[in-house]
Chains A and B, each alone.
Chain A
Amino acid sequence: MSPTSVKSAVAIVGAAETTELGVIPNLSEIQLHADAARNAMADCGVGVADIDGVACAANPVGVAHYLGITPTYLDGTSVGGCSFMLHVRHAAAALASGMCEMVLVTHGQSGRSRVGAGGRGGDGASLQGQFEAPYGPTGPPTMFPMGVLRYMKEFGLTHEQLASVAVVQRQWAMSNPRAMMRDPITVDDVLSSRVIAYPIHLLECCLVTDGGGALVLTTAERAADMDLARPPVYIVGTGESSETPMVSQMEDFTTSRAFRVSGAKAFAEAGITPADVDHLMIYDAFAHLPIYGLEDLGFVGRGEAGSFVEEGNTAPGGKLPLNTNGGGLSYTHTGMYGMFAIQESVRQLRGVAPAQVKGVELSVAHGVGGMFAASGTLVLSNRRP
């Protein structure tokens, strides 16, 4: 018997987002988890008794109890917005090794309405509290883009090219009824929007929304026996890594080490190269993330991503469809967006995305956690490996 392999063993069988998305002042965070979870369970026709594993980027005990699940596998990995890529990776390993039989991964975040949401605030004695907070950052918009000017100097990225990331993603969002922002925008619109943290303008920053999503994973064997309304999506490669919780301590401000390590590991496990990828999701908290991601995952060479996007290669009709739900910039961004990137990869592989790309067989969902602090990468396919 050949050894059990994660990549041949596990599938996403259920996937869904919260019923509503965007502004949801009537639901608390735990209920957003539950709403998405129930939708994902309904999507694949399973009940609470079928679920024996729970993962989320909060305390999974709370989600399990709220849903009435008695878990034998718990994963509370919380490394920021890419946590869900890690949950899927860990669940794949757990399912492949027989630790559990069916894992529910949930996300719910009242990022906009802050209903039942945890507090914010720092600790002056942490390293960030001592060596970053005293210099006046006000959240991710004033920290995450720290390397953009250095990138511009090193590689000649123009303000117009950076703005084109937002323009192209809006083109995708225009086809998506659930996207929060659907009006067309131009490069001039982006560059004339309010400066948030030079060189980043408002339209180069993600949205702040409420919502959630959930996934149900099981073995490919069991998936084959299930009466599924939609085909399984197989996990064929996974990666994760981290660099530094302090953006000021990045090794190189023009590239993410966590992106490179996580991406390379996932691609190697899947046995693929960027040329094999039909559809790509790169977590876009800000417009520069797809620039870094395209290069760090090897889709283009160093310094080439700005012109690659500007020339329309990632736009509808382009050769590398990227962030086809509209992304964090135009679709939704609850604070931890990674779940929504996975959901769109699943929709594209199932052939049910609002802006469906023809013939998608291999999709990559690549996430960031913190401000280039962590990363997770999933290579997904609708063909059983």
Chain B
Amino acid sequence: MSPPKPEPRPTPETQTFWDGCANGELRLQHCGACDRYYFPPRPFCPRCLSDQVEWRSVSGQGVLHTYLINHRAAPGFEEDAPYAIAVVELAEGPRMMSNIVGIENTPENLVLDMPLEVTFEERGSVMLPLFKPAATTGVRG
């Protein structure tokens, strides 16, 4: 039996992020002084050090900024390999690492800047944000 996949352990500074995930929403902190979102979480703005920051639920929309396809499965990922480890640029600006689900992870399928949307997967005691190709907004067939 394969070992479990690595599980995030929330800290006091990140708990709200993970609470959001458990609630099916992606949350980012927004700096009122800069009018700018940032990630990963911390209780002050990394650009201006302002404490005037608040958690906001964001769109969950993003684009595929860059990625690689891992052929050396991490413990727990044996059945997924090869799988993409991606950096998603969120519509609100920050970027985060993630996996791409709902599509075979091949160079042909994964085109940089393709639109993605967040989805969540149970990972131990937390829900982990992953991304899938965005539903097309045009005429549906």
| Chain A interface residues (CB < 8 Å from chain B) | 122-125, 127, 129-139, 141-143, 145-150, 153, 194-200, 246-249, 253
In the complex, residue of chain B having the shortest beta-carbon distance to the beta carbon of A133? B6
Docked Cα-Cα span, A148 to B67, in Å, equals 8
Subset of 28 A-B contacts with CB under 8 Å:
A123-B9, A124-B9, A125-B10, A129-B6, A130-B10, A131-B8, A131-B97, A133-B6, A134-B123, A134-B128, A135-B85, A136-B70, A136-B76, A137-B85, A138-B70, A138-B74, A142-B85, A149-B67, A149-B68, A149-B112, A150-B112, A194-B71, A197-B68, A197-B69, A198-B69, A199-B68, A246-B40, A249-B95
Whether A248 contacts B87 in the complex (CB less than 8 A), given A131-B40, A131-B96, A149-B112, comes out as yes
In the complex, residue of chain B having the shortest beta-carbon distance to the beta carbon of A127? B40
Task: Collect the chain B residues with CB atoms within 8 Å of residue A139's CB.
Answer: 72
- Pick the contact of B70 from A125, A137, A247 — CB < 8 Å? A137
Docked Cα-Cα span, A195 to B99, in Å, equals 19
The reply to whether A195 and B71 form a contact with Cβ atoms under 8 Å apart is yes
The reply to whether A134 and B7 form a contact with Cβ atoms under 8 Å apart is yes
Docked Cα-Cα span, A135 to B67, in Å, equals 12
The reply to whether A136 and B5 form a contact with Cβ atoms under 8 Å apart is yes
In the complex, residue of chain A having the shortest beta-carbon distance to the beta carbon of B69? A198
Contact residues, B44-86 vs A (CB, 8 A): 65-74, 76-77, 80, 82-83, 85-86
Interface size, chain B (Cβ < 8 Å): 37
Task: Collect the chain B residues with CB atoms within 8 Å of residue A130's CB.
Answer: 8-11, 14, 40
Q: Which of B5, B77, B80, B97 has the most CB of A within 10 A?
A: B97
The reply on B32 being an interface residue by CB < 8 A is no
**Least Cβ distance of B78 to chain A in Å?**
10
The reply to whether A196 and B71 form a contact with Cβ atoms under 8 Å apart is yes
The reply on B98 being an interface residue by CB < 8 A is yes
**Least Cβ distance of B47 to chain A in Å?**
12
Q: Which of A136, A145, A246 has the most CB of B within 10 A?
A: A136
Task: Collect the chain B residues with CB atoms within 8 Å of residue A123's CB.
Answer: 9
Docked Cα-Cα span, A130 to B126, in Å, equals 10
Task: Collect the chain B residues with CB atoms within 8 Å of residue A127's CB.
Answer: 14, 40
Task: Collect the chain A residues with CB atoms within 8 Å of residue B85's CB.
Answer: 135-137, 142-143, 146, 197
**Least Cβ distance of B18 to chain A in Å?**
8
**Least Cβ distance of B84 to chain A in Å?**
8
The reply to whether B6 and A134 form a contact with Cβ atoms under 8 Å apart is yes
The reply to whether B68 and A198 form a contact with Cβ atoms under 8 Å apart is yes
Extra pairs beyond A138-B74, A197-B72 (4, CB < 8 Å): A124-B9, A130-B11, A142-B85, A253-B66
- Pick the contact of B67 from A131, A136, A138, A146 — CB < 8 Å? A146
In the complex, residue of chain B having the shortest beta-carbon distance to the beta carbon of A144? B68
Docked Cα-Cα span, A358 to B72, in Å, equals 42
6 interchain residue pairs of minimum CB distance: A150-B66, A248-B97, A198-B69, A124-B9, A130-B8, A125-B9
Docked Cα-Cα span, A135 to B86, in Å, equals 9
The reply to whether B71 and A137 form a contact with Cβ atoms under 8 Å apart is no
**Least Cβ distance of A318 to chain B in Å?**
30
Docked Cα-Cα span, A68 to B14, in Å, equals 46
Task: Collect the chain A residues with CB atoms within 8 Å of residue B73's CB.
Answer: 136, 138
In the complex, residue of chain B having the shortest beta-carbon distance to the beta carbon of A154? B112
The reply on B93 being an interface residue by CB < 8 A is no
The reply to whether A124 and B74 form a contact with Cβ atoms under 8 Å apart is no
In the complex, residue of chain A having the shortest beta-carbon distance to the beta carbon of B70? A142
The reply to whether B68 and A248 form a contact with Cβ atoms under 8 Å apart is no
Docked Cα-Cα span, A141 to B9, in Å, equals 24
The reply to whether B9 and A142 form a contact with Cβ atoms under 8 Å apart is no
Task: Collect the chain A residues with CB atoms within 8 Å of residue B39's CB.
Answer: 249
Q: Which of A135, A153, A253 has the most CB of B within 10 A?
A: A135
- Pick the contact of A145 from B7, B68, B83 — CB < 8 Å? B68
**Least Cβ distance of A62 to chain B in Å?**
31
